[in-house]
Amino acid sequence: DLMNKSRLAEERHSEGSAISGYEKVVKKYPNSVYAPEALYRIGKLRLARRQYYDAFDAFQRLITRYPNTKRFNEIIGTQYRIASDLLDGRRPYLWGMFPGFTGRATGIGYFEVIIADAPYSDYAPLCLMNIARGHQLRKESEEAIDALDRLINSYPQSLLTADAYFKLAQMHASLVEGPYYDQASTKEAVTYYEDFMILFPNDINLSKAAKGLDDMKKMLAESKIKMADFYFFKRDNYVAAKVFYNEAITAYPDSEIAQHAK
């Protein structure tokens, strides 16, 4: 009876009354066959009103309480779209009427929930790529790198793995501050560029990777030259200078920097 009344309210576009009725079904009769359908209807109605947080919550309650629901894949897909909308800056509506603040951080969290619920689905690597993108938008480089690293390790056969390797190399390269600073990020960028070029020799980004690798090797060799010059000109420590000049040659043996080091 409650389901019929709620459905009638829904057809009359009285969404508030319909949601209230469906919630009563879920609360009073959680073990009935109607409870999963009631949660599904709540989620759809909330989503239509752009109440993204409440919609995601309703769908999450559904797959948590009734994991065998035949709509599992559909719900995961809908949750993915909600998280994507939030990440892209769409504003959720309060009470279905007033636009609220953007929720990119919440969108990132939703992607993590989807991975936990469906780690072997096609959505999991997509979620990790979006998590990385979200952290990049928020200037959180370390978190973005972590997400991409999880993608290449957990889903090596995914179609997104090549892009993840390339983006990892670019992100590490973006953290390089110059030849006078620590070169840990430079070395990481070199590693990922090389791995990308070996693993995906036919990728469309191969030429960009080759250019990036060249720049990083030059940076690494130049940093060795700076260290060598310091010991040679400032400290008269010829043994240390020779070590660093040799490291500059090893870092990029065919470059002008290597010739200068020689």
Per-residue pLDDT of the chain (262 residues; tens, 9 = 90+): 999 999 999 999 999 999 999 999 999 999 999 999 999 999 999 999 999 999 999 999 999 999 999 999 999 999 999 999 999 999 888 866 667 778 899 999 999 999 999 999 999 999 999 999 999 999 999 999 999 999 999 999 999 999 999 999 999 999 999 998 999 999 999 999 999 999 999 999 999 999 999 999 999 999 999 999 999 999 999 999 999 999 999 999 988 999 999 9
Extract the tokens encoding 249: 């040659």
How far is it, in rounded angstroms, from Cα 257 to Cα 251? Answer: 10
pLDDT of residue 99: 77
* 98 φ/ψ angles, rounded to the nearest 5 degrees: -115, 130
Instruction: Characterize the bridge pairing of strands 93-94 and 98-99.
Output: antiparallel
Number of other CB atoms surrounding residue 96 within 10 Å: 16
pLDDT of residue 95: 64
The pTM assigned to this predicted structure is 0.88
Q: Based on C-alpha coordinates, what's the Rg of the chain?
A: 27
93 strand-pairing partners: 99
254 residue type, one letter: D
The pairs formed by 127-134 with CB atoms below 8 angstroms and a separation of 24 or more are 127/80, 127/83, 128/154, 128/155, 128/160, 128/164, 129/160, 129/163, 129/164, 130/83, 130/84, 130/87, 132/164, 132/167, 133/87, 134/87, 134/104, 134/105, 134/107, 134/108
Alpha-carbon distances, residue 6 vs 25, 34, 40, 88 (angstroms): 9, 12, 13, 33
How far is it, in rounded angstroms, from Cα 233 to Cα 255? Answer: 23
170 residue type, one letter: Q
